[in-house]
Chain A
Amino acid sequence: MEEKNHQYQVFVVNSAKYLTLLTKKFERRKKWQPADPNEIRSFIPGTIIDVFVQPGQSVKEGEALLLLNAMKMHTKIEMPVDGVIKEVHVKKGDRVPKDAIMVVIEEEE
């Protein structure tokens, strides 16, 4: 066999430690993080058509926060719970990628 100088990594499967190489796709994978329910994130990339709220404002569940234009559809982004707007990260005309934090809220006690 020809000798190959591989930089093996330790890789754990079923509690056993193996020496092996990693694939690029594995190395680039995103670490999973729990979703913060107070962060209103874009579920799809799009453009902000309108912003209806500002920081400090109290908003009831179901009221519109933003109007997002994505894939030729106007989607109303609604307040998930009764609460207060803490931060607004977007303004009219902004283009947002997927999973961007648009609004941060705080649930009412």
Chain B
Amino acid sequence: MSLKRNILDLRKRKKEAQLGGGASAIEKQVAMGKKTARERIKAILDENSFHEYDLFVEHTARDFDMEKKVLHGDGVVIGTGTMYNQPVCIYAQDFTVAGGSLGLMHARKITKIMDHALKMRVPIIGINDSGGARIQEGVNSLAGYGEIFYRNTEASGVIPQISVILGPCAGGAVYSPALTDFVFVVENISKMFITGPNVIKTVLGEEISMEELGGAMVHSEITGNAHFYALSEDECFEQIKKLITYIPWNNAKKALKFPVREPNASINIEEIVPADPHHPYDIRDIIKAITDGSEFFEIMENFAKNIVIGFGRIAGNTIGFVANQPLYLAGVLDCDSSDKAARFIRYCDAFNIPIVTLEDMPGYLPGVDQEHAGVIRHGAKLLYAYSEATVPKITVIIRKAYGGGYIAMNSRHLGADFVFAWPTAEIAVMGPEGAANIVFKKEIDEAENPAEMRKLKIQEYKDKFANPFVAASKGYIDEVIEPAETRALLIHSLEVSENKVEKRSYRKHGIPPF
């Protein structure tokens, strides 16, 4: 056989294998509004940068007549490529091949590319589109999942791990995305659940559609499993490409520095906070008044809306923002918001991203449901995450900073490097209304006109305590600043913190309350 014939034979084999489940299966995939595995990879990576490995891997199942079946690539595509000319590892489950079901060799391919990513210290992107375990392979498929979870955990905090849910991801399979840093979902396409609607109906008699049980919006809004929600696969890929610009390639590096841009000149930072301290505003407007180009890349924007997290740049460097959101639930802390912020803080800390906290927080959400849902242990996650973080930590108190929430929101006492307050800040053990009722109870009860006296005493407490100057007099706040000075001061304090060193006691690991 001449070389030419060898080459032609190779091309034929590749072409056949790259068809995955074949023309009719691809047609079905497209009819569901989905792209094929290889199309998805190409849409995410730099043009022509993808190199596929293990194309000729075959499954090893020998029971239930499986030996007669050919499953090209065993239902998963793995390889390497680049994004913005930097290397990444990627895999995509191929639903056209046996429903993307996971057997032993399928899992081996995934763990192989994960091992590469960890060794080479580059991000790993996993595209999930699978019917679940390949039942015919029995315990081998369970073994496969376990080996993926183990590597997810091993890689956590060392390399960025991104999960893209573009089809079903059910049963044990859901735990790989859950262990990774960022989960992307797409409306009508992503479905995630432990037990599906059929099982729930048979066992419990509850009828629910797949979309209502574990659709994209459910995971963005209710469960908090997803970080990014998109209406189409293309929008999702744009989100991934945007995210990747904000994060470093591994935990020994810093995120790429971008050219410095001023915020949008039309934003007047002094006009955002309403005069009445009981009126809401959108905290994201303040973030945008501070960041380069007024850009803010929000994470988990539909979940626990009372706290806002995400990336922006200050003087070209990536910053992780954590900010209470008065627009929702008055910006209170609760189980979900503590959990959301705590994990993001740990992400920033693991990947050398400084954290800027903007605080306007009236207290914790009251309610039996909150107490019984464990707001104590969930709230503790936030304290733990802030205290543990050794990246530069800067807090700007915009308005309310009351009680336990004041401590939790990266206070000086939890190790903040810089704490600034606007003159509108109200820092006290509790709000004037509540405090007056306790401190001046006797005067109010005994007054001829209690309502009038109460008003008077609230004002008295407000004047004396609900301001930034008491905390400033004790050095808990470094400086009370004018809103317009915020960006310049953040640039300066981040510059000062550039080479921050903070050593902690040796330990195998801490025991955070999760």
- Chain A residues near B (Cβ < 8 Å): 1, 4, 6, 8, 11-26, 29-30, 32, 45, 95, 97-98
Contact = CB atoms under 8 A, between A and B. Distances in A.
B131 interface: no
B222 A25 contact: yes
16 contacts: A8-B280, A12-B366, A14-B362, A14-B431, A15-B437, A16-B431, A18-B279, A18-B330, A19-B279, A19-B280, A20-B280, A21-B328, A32-B368, A32-B372, A45-B206, A95-B204
B327 A21 contact: yes
A20 B204 contact: no
A97 B204 contact: yes
Nearest to B368: A32
Contacts, number: 88
B403 A14 contact: yes
A47 B188 CA distance: 33
Contacts of B363: 13-14
Contacts of B121: none
Contacts of A29: 367, 369
A18 B433 contact: no
B417 interface: no
Contacts of A6: 280, 327
Given A32-B372, A97-B204, A1 B365 contact: no
Given A23-B329, A24-B221, A26-B329, A16 B278 contact: yes
B434 A14 contact: yes
A77 to B, nearest CB: 18
A45 B328 contact: no
Nearest to B278: A18
A76 B281 CA distance: 55
A19 to B, nearest CB: 5
Contact of B285 (A1, A22, A25, A32): A1
Given A23-B328, A97-B205, A15 B431 contact: yes
A1 B305 contact: no
Contacts of B305: 21, 23
A16 B432 contact: yes
Contact of A23 (B278, B306, B403, B431): B306
B423 to A, nearest CB: 20
A13 to B, nearest CB: 4
A13 B366 contact: yes
A87 B489 CA distance: 70
The 8 closest A-B pairs by CB, nearest first: A18-B330, A32-B368, A15-B433, A15-B434, A14-B431, A45-B204, A13-B362, A20-B330
Contacts of B329: 11, 20-23, 26
Interface in B455-480: none
A20 B282 CA distance: 10
B271 interface: yes
B433 A16 contact: yes
A6 B367 CA distance: 25
B366 A20 contact: no
Given A11-B329, A45-B204, A97-B205, A19 B366 contact: no
Contacts of B430: 14
Interface-central residue, A6, A11, A16, A32, by most chain B CB under 10 Å: A16
A106 B260 CA distance: 74
Interface string B402-445: 11000000000000000000000000001111100100000000
Contacts of A1: 267, 271-272, 285
Contacts of B282: 4
A18 B362 contact: yes
B280 A16 contact: no
Interface string B330-371: 111000100000000000000000000000001101111100
